[in-house]
Amino acid sequence: MDYDKALKEISKIVLCNDKKNILQEIVDYLFKNFKTYSWIGIYFVKDADLILGPWQGTNATEHVRIPVGEGICGSAAKSGKTEIVDDVSLDKRYLACFISTRSEIVVPIIKNGVVIGEIDIDSDFYNAFSKEDSIFLEKIADIIKNFC
């Protein structure tokens, strides 16, 4: 999938949908169009926890609430920096959700300098996420910060 084309299509989703549907439409779009994005979820920061919002994937996760600072998700929320893990089995912070997951990316959603949420993507493939994916997803995070 072409990242620029995807960004244009995501901008269209933002323009053409009710505010309440936009986040779900975007995770659905990413799941449908990026074959290595096996599970996509948006977490919202609430007090000291991350709370799962819209998601798309084959299975539901039991990690619907993650304390900030725990797991790869909690690390990214704490630091405000994108995390890419090429092989989750080698990362001690990893909180397992799906037996099929091999790699993961977590991109913070930052508004006015504060982490208000994040995009979490699990892949069933090793090394699924490149610098291009992080740049692409950081642009999406910047768009959706207004809809969280």
In the complex, what is the shortest distance from the CB of residue 15 to ligand SME, in angstroms, rounded to a whole number? 29
In the complex, what is the shortest distance from the CB of residue 20 to ligand SME, in angstroms, rounded to a whole number? 23
In the complex, what is the shortest distance from the CB of residue 104 to ligand SME, in angstroms, rounded to a whole number? 6
Q: Quick one: 9 or 91, whose CB is closer to ligand SME? A: 91
Contact 93, 30 (CB under 8 A): no
In the complex, what is the shortest distance from the CB of residue 3 to ligand SME, in angstroms, rounded to a whole number? 22
Q: For 94, list phi and psi in degrees, rounded to 5.
A: -60, 130
Q: Quick one: 100 or 130, whose CB is closer to ligand SME? A: 100
Pair of tokens at residue 76: 């990214």
Where along the sequence are the contacts to ligand SME (CB under 6 A)? Answer: 41, 61, 63, 66, 71-74, 94-95, 97, 104, 120, 122
Pair of tokens at residue 118: 């994040």
Query: How far apart, in whole angstroms, are the C-alpha atoms of residue 10 and residue 107?
Result: 17
Pair of tokens at residue 133: 């994916």
Strand partners, 45: 50
Q: Quick one: 9 or 93, whose CB is closer to ligand SME? A: 93
Q: Where are the alpha helices (DSSP H) in 90-147?
A: 131-144
DSSP code for 100:
T
Q: Quick one: 17 or 63, whose CB is closer to ligand SME? A: 63
Point out the residue whose Cβ comes nearest to ligand SME. Answer: 71
